[in-house]
Amino acid sequence: MNAVQTFKLVKEFDGLVAVNGIDLEIKQGELFSLLGPNGAGKTTAIRMLCCLLKPTKGTASILGYDIAKEPFKVKELIGVSPQETVLSERLNCWENLALIGKVHGLSSKEVKGRSKELLETMGLTERSQDQVRKFSGGMKRRLSIAMALVSDPQVLFLDEPTLGLDPQARRAVWEYIAELKGKKTILLTTHYMEEADFLSDRIGIIDEGRVVALGTSQELKTNRLEMRSMVVSTRNITAEVIADLQSKYSRVEEVNGELKISHKDLDFKEIVDYLHSRGVTVYSAALEQPTLEDVFIQITGKKLRD
Amino acid sequence: MKSWEIGKRNLKEIYRNPVLLGFLLGMPVAFMLVFCSAMGGAQANPISLSIVDEDRSQTSSAFISCLGSIEAIELNEPIYSEKSQAQEDLEDGRISFYLFIPSGFEEARQAQQTVNLELTYKAADPMIGLQVKPIIEAVGSEFLGVAPPLIVELKGTESKIKNEVVNFFAPGIAVYGLMILVSTAAEIIADDREKGFLARMFTTPARPWDFILGYSLPFIPVLIISTLIYLGVGMALGLTIVGNLGHAILIFFLIGLCSIGTGMIVGSLVKSGSQAGVSWLFIVPMAMISGAWFSVEGMPSAMKSIAGALPFIHAIDASRAVINGSPFSAIIFDLYWLVGWAVVLFAVGIVLFRRTMVS
């Protein structure tokens, strides 16, 4: 049985289609990322799966329970860390964790045990008695994830878990999420391609409410990328040579003597030889590693942060 | 119980927020201190009265002595003989107002004719004239031997109330204080919605009733503590509970419920905690037309009708009545009105609050 399954899931707001027929199958124990720019429909999709929004059309289930027909069964199985770091600001860490744990039906003893463990893991033990309004953004984010985990959920939804964090805090959150891999089914949304690349078993690229590509990071880079790119550092290159290259290859960009050439079936040696034959000095030349950003640009024609 | 956990959290958010508590408890207490002190408070001062005696007769002297014997009045010395002198002192700010006894006062009394007295005060301070006029009219009527309408009041029946000013203001301001719960409840609900805390809680297995109870029950202890503080401050200022204190507390409890229900409605309709401030547009005018700070006897009948349809004026009137000694039977109509409003406001509040849970 899949942990998360959606079938042609649609959400419209006053005629505006936010999610447009998403089909997903996420296996138990899998870490699946929905990668897409702001406004792509990631959060709306998660909010439907968490039973906060009713789908306009389509269905979805969490561990076999229909989100529309059995929302309270679904809510018993999930943990959610929302995009906004929403905590009870005048409560301390223990009280925030106890609130969520007890609402999930845990006993005081269970809550205490789970909270202690999570606070240690998240590095919050020392500040556990302080009201959380005094915390930094990173600490709040870690507590938010701990709150999502306190009920020991089978399915964890992490909506932009590192949004607004500095690189160090982001790395710490990544490491903790990586530790959960295989133990929980995790659906993570992000618009950071490095995050999706680093953490995910599989990635769904979402744009304008649709999943436009699906696969592992490697699959997406190798299968979906039709073009390869190389960067050549040159001296004395002329406009005539650049124009000649542009007529032969799909994309040629030149900035201060540095050429970036993209083309299907790119021949590294052929380009270097051609440049030498035209009297251009080549300092260095290298094939560029494809990124998820390249995949996204190729599929949607726009950048992730547009 | 899930609702208990949600309620406990909300109670902590209230009592750990000094700004919120300051508004909720501090403002009504400050109002009580200011109003009761400004309007007489625990030690009511007599009003200083200046007199111009143009008549200079035995009768006018006797009338002046009569005025001087009233506890509420302190006669300024000397008694003017010329109106122009008093007018000059009034304009220079040395006196606040003066009473002019014209020549012919004695003859008019003997002939049992109408006597015209003039009370002159600065146009910028009309309240003092309005305050003193009925006293002088009553003393004058008694002195002149005409059956005065206010003679009972002047004679001062034996009252158990130590300080009528405090007994007037304290219940009204206590109800006003409980009206602030509208803003408090609205702000907490709207703030939790705006910041996404409610949405987070809606992803837990808590049921709608857990939220409804969790967002209304914490205000009950706040309501009880507020009531006790208001009554305590009132008593410290000289409030006398002549009637049944339990009946007064029942009225305060019911108006508190009405306020919490209204707060749930406002909190469910507005989009943010700051927008919940819109409830003050309701609280302050309602407190005014319901007589929290002054008597509404002279208010236009249209305004009286609006106030009468709402619960607050009933709470103020009924609490004043029972505190001043009226029996339970005298406030039954007000109680029905309050119970009815509490039920309606809570029901609407619950319906609107539930609507916010799923989009």
**pLDDT score of B150:** 29
Count of alpha carbons within 13 angstroms of residue A66, beta-carbon side? 8
CA distance B220 to B4: 13
Q: For residue A1, give every residue at least 6 positions away whose Cβ sits within 8 Å of its Cβ, in sequence order, or none.
A: A28, A63, A64
pLDDT in tens, B107-126: 877 777 777 778 787 654 55
- B203–A52 C-beta distance less than 8 A: yes
A143 SS3 class: helix
* Contact between A159 and A43 (Cβ < 8 Å): yes
What are the residues facing B47 on neighbouring strands? B73
Percent helix, percent strand, percent coil in chain A, to nearest 5: 40, 30, 30
pLDDT surpassing 60 at residue B44: no
List residues of chain B with CB under 8 Å from any CB of chain A: 2, 5-6, 8-9, 12-13, 16-17, 195-197, 199-207, 210, 358-359
CA distance A129 to A91: 9
Alpha-carbon gap: A125 to the closest alpha carbon of chain B (Å): 21
Q: For residue A150, give every residue at least 6 positions away whose Cβ sits within 8 Å of its Cβ, in sequence order, or none.
A: A79, A97, A100, A101, A104, A106, A111, A114, A115, A118
* Contact between B7 and B221 (Cβ < 8 Å): no
**Closest residue on chain B to A76 (Cα):** B205
**pLDDT score of B10:** 86
**pLDDT score of B78:** 83
pLDDT in tens, B198-241: 888 999 998 888 888 898 888 889 889 989 998 898 888 888 88
CA distance B216 to B10: 9
Tokens standing for A204? 């769904």
CA distance A143 to A120: 11
**pLDDT score of B157:** 35
- B358–A52 C-beta distance less than 8 A: yes
Between B96 and A57, the more confident residue is: A57
CA distance A46 to A156: 11
State chain B's mean pLDDT as an integer. Answer: 81
pLDDT surpassing 50 at residue B152: no
Q: Pick the closest to residue B193 from B274, B257, B281 (CA basis).
A: B274
**pLDDT score of A143:** 92
Of the partner residues B2, B12, B199, the one whose CB lies closest to the CB of residue A103: B2
Beta strands in A91-198 (DSSP E): 155-159, 185-190
pLDDT in tens, A255-304: 888 888 888 778 888 888 999 998 888 898 888 877 787 788 777 776 65
Question: Which residue bears the tokens 């409830």?
Answer: B279
* Contact between B317 and B299 (Cβ < 8 Å): no
**Closest residue on chain A to B202 (Cα):** A52
Report the percent of chain B where pLDDT is more than 90.
Answer: 13
List residues of chain A with CB under 8 Å from any CB of chain B: 47, 50-54, 72, 75-76, 78, 80, 82-84, 86-91, 95, 98-100, 102-105, 131, 147, 151
Q: C-alpha A191: how far from its chain's center?
A: 5
pLDDT surpassing 50 at residue B156: no
Question: Which amino acid, A118?
Answer: L
Sort out which chain B residues have CB atoms less than 8 A from A147's CB and list them. 200
CA distance A149 to A186: 11
pLDDT band at B326 (very low <50, low <70, confident <90, very high): confident
- A102–B2 C-beta distance less than 8 A: yes
* Contact between B31 and B166 (Cβ < 8 Å): no
pLDDT band at B37 (very low <50, low <70, confident <90, very high): low
pLDDT band at B359 (very low <50, low <70, confident <90, very high): low
Contacts across the A-B interface (CB distance below 8 Å): 72
In degrees and rounded to multiples of 5, residue A22 shows phi and psi of: -85, 130
State chain A's mean pLDDT as an integer. Answer: 88
User: What is the DSSP-derived secondary structure letter of residue A290?
Assistant: P
In degrees and rounded to multiples of 5, residue B274 shows phi and psi of: -70, -35
pLDDT surpassing 70 at residue B61: yes
Question: Which residue bears the tokens 């009286």?
Answer: B304
pTM for the predicted model, two decimal places: 0.72
**Closest residue on chain A to B193 (Cα):** A86
**pLDDT score of B126:** 54
pLDDT band at B153 (very low <50, low <70, confident <90, very high): very low
**pLDDT score of A69:** 92
**pLDDT score of B128:** 64
pLDDT band at B325 (very low <50, low <70, confident <90, very high): confident
Q: Pick the closest to residue B271 from B351, B189, B185, B347 (CA basis).
A: B189
Give helix B311-323 / helix B164-195 axis angle, nearest 10°.
140
